[in-house]
Homo-oligomer: A and B are copies of this chain.
Amino acid sequence: MSISKNEYERLARFRRALRQFLRFSELAAHQEGLTPQQHQMLLAIKGMPGRDWATVGELAEALQLHHNALVQLVDRAVTIGLVVRLADPEDRRVVRVQLAANGEAVLHRLTAQHQDELRRLREDLTGLLTSLPDVSA
């Protein structure tokens, strides 16, 4: 089955909109002095249902990174005071990563900006998603 030029154009518009959102997000993070991944890590921690910490492994899953990449990410975030490492009382292999006060403050500011931007993009993105052709096979 072939794919029409029109369909390529639609997908390209979708990816461009996505890329623009991500770029906005990267720049917003940089303006707060963080890398984009540091921001995503803060959000993933704060976003853990019913908890205020996450393990290294959970964060790796959330950010779709390998554990070793995440260890380095945590290292840097600890250095600049965004998060702290805590021992898990129940399983001593586990490290709990928790927001530091400054991490909490930065995340709050970034989140507010992102909500605004997402409201602005919402229609574009959902439009491009729902206009995908239904099953081709």
Contact = CB atoms under 8 A, between A and B. Distances in A.
Interface stretch (A15-23, A80-88, A90-98): A15-23
A22 B14 CA distance: 13
Contacts of A63: 19
Interface residues of A, number: 46
Given A64-B23, A112-B3, A136-B115, A47 B122 contact: no
Copies of this protein chain in the complex: 2
Contacts of A40: 15, 19
A8 to B, nearest CB: 4
7 contacts: A11-B115, A12-B47, A15-B44, A15-B47, A16-B47, A122-B130, A125-B126
